[in-house]
Structure 1
Amino acid sequence: MVFTNESPPATRVPVRTRLHGVDIARGLAVLGMFVAHAGPAALNPAAGGAAEFLAALGNGHASILFATLAGVSLALLTGGSRPHEGLALRRDRVRIAVRAVVLFALGMALTQLGTPMMVILSFYALYFLLTLPFLRLRPAALLVLAAVWAIAGPVASFFLRGAIGSGDTAGGALAFSDLTSWDAAVAGFQRLLLDGAYPVLTWMPFVLAGLAVGRLDLRSTAVRLKLLISGVVLAVVGTGGSWLALHVFGGVRALQPTLDNLQPIAAEIGKEPLELLQMFGFGVVPTTTPAFLLINGPHTGTPFEIVASTGAALAVLALCLFAGDHLRTPLAPLAAVGALALTVYTVQGLLLEPLMQGLGEQPWLPLLVLALGSLVLCGLWRPLLGRGPLERVLHWTSTRTADAVVPAR
């Protein structure tokens, strides 16, 4: 995962000041991730009130905000609105590829340890590798590609999964143990590409949209306003389009057999069957009927979720860019969490199970420990020590490899 918006110091190009709004947005994504993994609704899906509201904000949206910001950071890493060319671009590609390798291994390690969350790092590694051919595209071309992929990807996924079957691989990630046999390795890479928690086939639009946005002048007030308006419009189109498709154009009728099966569980936790269906996703929707593609729910990977959640991510980014200019000091701890996001993500994965077991009887306590602990520790680390431990590993390995593979003139 690119968890930074730095400019590469060794590419012999002018270095621009850091966009603190990107760090703030990434920090919000980290807090949203905490809500999804350790919030009270994670312990009790029937929890209402503030717990349900926070879950609605965090579930699905945090990871999609991460993916979109990954695209933004890749753009900033490779020159922002003035993309690198020639030697500098070759170095950029080496650095991105090396980061992908490190993240892939780290993601497999966290998955192997059995951390109780859907680990995204190995998926991010593949996103990064797939962006390499697109680094020189203009923003308009990237946006068109993202839009086409947002529609074609989920549809292709639906029919591919229906043809080959994917019940045993849906919703997971890749672990080292998956590489012990040919069949396990094939299933593991099927999760990464097609039907895992964050499959490449349906998640690339987020990264491509972020890459397009990062190619704009994000210091421009006009660009930020356009980004905010566009984000709101996309969120309304995705959410409203799904509602119309379900309630006006017959989607609910096509899903009725599934909704009938969910009725007892929904009644038990006080939800409507359709609401329950949209609450829980594991990366993709079932292939029993194409009507599932009309849903807009967390981790469903439908065109409506992609459009709506991309819009939400862009709107959040725009607001955070404004906040980074005017509220830099009070939001410094949150920006520090965003700047150290890889370290925070990994530590959370290691601590999540002990926290949930030790503090689970107090539904809000695991979330508060993770959130407040991260804000305090990162808020102290960032101004005193700079990059986080794992961020240093990414920077050092990628820069040294680029120095060796593409020597500076």
Structure 2
Amino acid sequence: MLFTHDNAPTVRMTAAPARTRLDGVDMARGLAVLGMFVAHIGPAVINPTAGGAADFLAMLGNGHASILFATLAGVSLALLTGGDRLHQGLALRRDRVRIGVRAVILFVLGMAMTELGVPMMVILSFYALYFLLALPFLRVRPAVLLVVAAVWAVVGPVASFFLRTAISGETAGGALAFTDLTSLSTAGAGIQRLLLDGAYPVLTWMPFVLVGLAVGRLDLRSTAVRLRLLVSGVVLAVVGAGGSWLALNVFGGMRALQPVLEALRPIAEQMGKDPLDVLQMTGFGTAPTTTPAFLLINAPHSGTSFEIAASTGAALAVLAVCLFAGDHLGKLFAPLSAVGALALTVYVAQGVALKILMDSAGEALMAQPWLPLLGFALVSLVFCALWRPFLGRGPLERVMHWTSTKTSNALVRA
């Protein structure tokens, strides 16, 4: 359920007919998977001096892909619990158990991948906490969810900045591994990483899930709703990116960042880039605490209010476009939708494959920086396109569905 949704509950409390799966949601999730590939093994990652198309692709994928995932996770939570027809009574209680069980599985799976040392910032353990924290919001109306998300998007980054300023031993980036649980001190640092200063900290990432939950409570089959999503997404993206530009270039943010930019200038010149571009490439989940001016940037993994607004807007616009495309071009984009439906399996598989590839041929990839991305994308599209029509859910999706459903049926009885 992290990456996919089930539209039909185990027990239905109303006589409403079952709805078909929304291909557009799967399509958007498939785009997020490909965006993750760009962020993890794209040509700009393999060779940071590649420039040109590699940099443009990195700009599209870095940060935006993971935020699209988080937003769609909220949408999936809503769809799992009835969408715009919220489940009630026994069905909703079983939904809560299913979400809790899936959160536990994701938490353990995320720690396992981090322990393995996959060369990427693993998001699964963070997702598990997002889901648990979303449980009290399942019955909240969309308008209220959006207000809570907006307030959280403004207050969260500021609170994070001052909390991290006051706390020594900040652990920027990273996730949680099994070895973090071997002592109280490492466990405390691991919890701090999940909540405050890791790669996808709860304090600044919950707005994405809450917005997705609100969106999933709407009638996503409605053309009017989709148009509102598209327009709202574009406006929000412009407000986030434009607000950051104004704060930096009109209201003095660049002056405050000048010492940092000057320190980065030698590295920027070697890479043939502007110091601000280099600064925006160095995010690890949170804004540095050296100056409050860092809260004014809109950069991948910076955790600022401007990034939250701009990337949430982009996610909503992508979802709206995919919902339209899913209705009219579903067969053409079926392989992409299949990747989205098997996203958890693909995510874990690419992490393990990436670990093997980087350990065995990391230096050799410098000569062919586009090859890994193209290979990962092609294999995923072909595999999922062949698997889904004949076998349905992916291997890990089957485990998630079976375990959570059996547990909820056993624990919550009529």
Corresponding residue for 1:237?
Answer: 239
Q: Distance in 2 between matches of 1:44 and 1:321?
A: 35
Alignment of 1:1-400 (within 5 A): 2-13=2-13, 14-167=17-170, 169-356=171-358, 357-358=360-361, 360=365, 361-400=367-406
C-alpha distance in structure 2 between counterparts of 1:369 and 1:406, whole Å: 45
Residue 285 of structure 1 aligns to a residue whose secondary structure is: coil
* Distance (Å, rounded) in 1 between the aligned partners of 2:168 and 2:118: 26
Pick from 401, 405, 409: which aligns with 2:411?
405
Shift of 1:91: 0.6
- Decide whether the 8 Å contact of 1:39 with 1:364 is kept in 2: yes
Runs of 4+ aligned residues of structure 1 deviating over 2 Å after TM superposition are 353-359
Structure 1: distance between partners of 2:193 and 2:316: 27
Deviation at 1:221, TM superposition (A): 0.3
Contact 1:9 / 1:15 at 8 angstroms: preserved in 2?
no
For 1:6 and 1:317, locate their aligned partners in 2 and report how far apart those are by CA, in whole Å.
Answer: 18
Q: What secondary structure does 1:279 align onto?
A: coil
CA contact (8 A) 1:5 1:19 kept: no
Alignment TM-score, normalising by the size of structure 2: 0.97
Q: Distance in 2 between matches of 1:374 and 1:355?
A: 16
Q: Which amino acid aligns with 1:11?
A: V
Mapped to 2, the partners of 1:166 and 1:62 lie a distance apart of 29
Residue segments in structure 2 that go unaligned for 5+ positions in a row? none
The whole-number CA distance in structure 1 between the counterparts of 2:7 and 2:212 is: 16
1:341 partner letter: A
User: Structure 1 unaligned runs (5+)?
Assistant: none
Q: 2:79 touches 2:216 (CA, 8 Å); kept in 1?
A: yes
Contact 2:74 2:209 in 1 (8 A): yes
Q: CA deviation at 1:395?
A: 0.2
Give the alignment's TM-score, normalised by structure 1: 0.98
In the TM superposition, what is the alpha-carbon distance from 1:179 to its structure 2 partner?
0.4
Letter in 1 for 2:338: A
- 1:30–1:62 Cα contact (<8 Å) kept: yes
**Alpha-carbon distance between aligned partners in 2 of 1:355 and 1:306, rounded to the nearest angstrom:** 33
Shift of 1:273: 1.0
CA drift of 1:64 comes to: 0.2
Per-residue deviation, 1:291 = 0.5
Identity %: 77
Mapped to 2, the partners of 1:193 and 1:15 lie a distance apart of 37
Query: Any idea what the Cα deviations from partners look like across 1:173-231, whole Å, max 9, x if unmatched?
Result: 00000000100000011000000000000000000000000000000000000000000
Contact 2:8 / 2:19 at 8 angstroms: preserved in 1? no
Stretch deviating more after TM superposition (88-97 or 273-282): 273-282
